[in-house]
Amino acid sequence: MPPKERQVIDLNTLDAQQLSSIREQLEEEIQSFVRSSVALQKAAGEFGSSGRAVEALSEQKEGQPLLLPLTSSLYVAGTLASTDSVLIDIGTGYYMEKSTEEGADYCKRKVMYLKEQLDKIGAAIKEKQRILAEVNGTLGRRVQQPQQA
């Protein structure tokens, strides 16, 4: 699919109502990007935490008692059956069995991927904020023109 071509609009040709509409749309887009950024940061933190847990698991002994989290607030008592492999949740209810080294590596790669996406979203936010500043400046000048006349 070819990349979207950018549409260039001369802000000076728009009236105050159109500029206000563009400003509202840009503010909504920025908020959407910020929410996505927060969600990605949370996911990256969780994958980082999971990677550290898998690395720590390889240092444990088989048969050791542990608490297994079923949810964020519900744990069940159990014993460690194996430190050689882990089940990795790869999404939508699918799991893969991996060695502890491969599991930790998987988590590290996911963190790196999420950080790349965060960088892209950060650049998009900065661009939208730049455009919003231009729209606000043009709108401010447009509102002052009738007052000066």
**Model pLDDT, residue 128:** 95
Task: Output phi, psi for 76, to 5 deg.
Answer: -125, 140
Between 108 and 71, the more confident residue is: 108
Task: Output phi, psi for 139, to 5 deg.
Answer: -65, -40
d(CA 59, CA 61): 7
Helical spans, DSSP H, in 1-149: 16-57, 100-148
**Model pLDDT, residue 9:** 76
CATH 3.40.50.300 fits 17-148, yes or no: no
Domain ranges of the chain: 17-148
Beta strands 75-79 and 65-69 are antiparallel
Highest-confidence segment of 3-12, 15-24, 114-123: 114-123
pLDDT tens-digit map of 48-61: 999 998 998 888 88
**Model pLDDT, residue 147:** 63
d(CA 45, CA 91): 17
Distances (CA, A) of 97 to 43, 84, 106: 21, 10, 11
